[in-house]
Amino acid sequence: MIVDFKYGDRCWELETYRTYQEKEAIICSMGEVNEESLDKILCIFKFPKKEIKNLSLDEKLAILYKYREISIGEKLDLTYTCKKCGRVEPFTIDATIIEEPLGNEYKKYFKDQYKNINDKNFESFLDPSINVDDLDLDFYQVLKNEIKNNVCSFNFIKKINCPVCKTENLINLRNISFCVKSLTEDSVANFFQTYNDMVYYGHYSKLDIDSMYPYERKILKDLLSRTIEEINKKRQEQNESILRQRKNAQRRH
């Protein structure tokens, strides 16, 4: 499946990653992870290599979360510790990151840098032809506010309310390690267990499994597990029936 991922003036064609790519991404996360790890994973997912160097860190994270959304799902399951009561709770959050800007008349004055804007980096968003010293102070303030409200923003902060004390907790998804780990719901050990079960019981080849989308593999694995459980239950019932028949036969003799 290929989807267009659009934000600001940019649009990328992203393709759902497959099991072999997911496994390679896990291997990338086994050591120290940094921005270079994100570049490697983007290459694994066949993102245009020549474009990676032009991406901000925020873009790389947002793109990888989008890859995760189309390959596994937009919902992320995690556990957090409430900052007030200390209770550890499971929670599901939406990993949608991009917030689209609203176009306006001031757009000609700035160029989106595709990173979150703040007072320190504000002037880097201005069009190169604009000399800040020539701007009227009032217009400068208006322009500053308009740019902040109309560039593409990345909402990495997710709010979670503790079900016990009702305190609002903030989860920051602008974390390289967390982003990389979110790209799979399996460990390396689980991958090899999946290979074993699906090859031995399901008669799939390793190539078949590696070619599957993560959500496809999960569905088939769950169906196979259910089938194995039903077969084992029937065998147990048959064995118990045979034992009862033997006991009854022994009583008659």
Bridge partner list, 15 = 2
CA 239 to chain centroid, in Å, comes to: 46
The residues spanned by each domain of the chain are 2-98+154-185, 101-151, 189-244
pLDDT for the residue numbered 155: 86
Question: What would the mean pLDDT of 3-10 be, rounded to a whole number?
Answer: 86
Tokens of 192: 């090899």
When comparing pLDDT for 147 and 204, which is higher?
204
Average pLDDT over residues 221-231: 91
What per-residue confidence (pLDDT) applies to 142?
Answer: 84
- pLDDT of residue 16 exceeding 90, the answer is yes
* Residue 114 pLDDT greater than 80, yes or no: no
| Percentage of residues of the chain with pLDDT beyond 90 | 48
Model confidence over 157-183: pLDDT tens digits?
A: 988 999 999 999 999 999 999 999 999
Residue 224 and residue 197 in contact, taking contact as beta carbons nearer than 8 Å = yes
The 3-state secondary structure of the chain, one letter per residue: CEEEEEECCEEEEEECCCHHHHHHHHHHCCCCCCHHHHHHHHHHCCCCHHHHCCCCHHHHHHHHHHHHHHHCCCEEEEEEECCCCCCEEEEEEECCCEECCCCCCCHHHECCCCCCCCCCCHHHHECCCCCHHHCCHHHHHHHHHHHHHHCCEECCEEEEECCCCCCEEEEECCCHHHHHHCCCCCCHHHHHHHHHHHHHCCCCCHHHHHCCCHHHHHHHHHHHHHHHHHHHHHHHHHHHHHHHHHHHHHHHC
pLDDT at residue 12, as a whole number: 94
* The pLDDT of residue 108: 64
5 vs 147, residue with greater confidence: 5
* Contact call for residues 8 and 153 (beta carbons, < 8 A): no
Rounded to an integer, the average pLDDT of 73-89 is 90
Question: Considering the chain, what is the average pLDDT of its residues?
Answer: 87
> 59 versus 105: which is more confidently predicted?
59
Closest CA to 16 of 97, 75, 73, 70: 70
Q: What is the pLDDT of residues 30-61, one digit of tens each?
A: 888 999 999 999 999 999 999 999 999 999 99
Is 139 within 8 Å of 75 (Cβ atoms)?
Answer: no
| Of 179-183, 201-205, 227-231, 240-244, minimum mean pLDDT range | 240-244
- Predicted confidence at residue 105, as pLDDT, reads 60
Give 160's strand partners: 169
CA distance 12 to 212: 23
- Predicted pLDDT of residue 139: 84
Q: How many residues does the chain have?
A: 253
Amino acid at 94: D
- Min mean pLDDT across 56-65, 70-79, 226-235, 242-251 is at 242-251
Q: Quick one: CA torsion of 137, 138, 140, 141, rounded to 10 degrees?
A: 120
- Of the given ranges (77-86, 108-117, 119-128, 135-144), which has the lowest mean pLDDT? 108-117
Average pLDDT over residues 140-144: 82
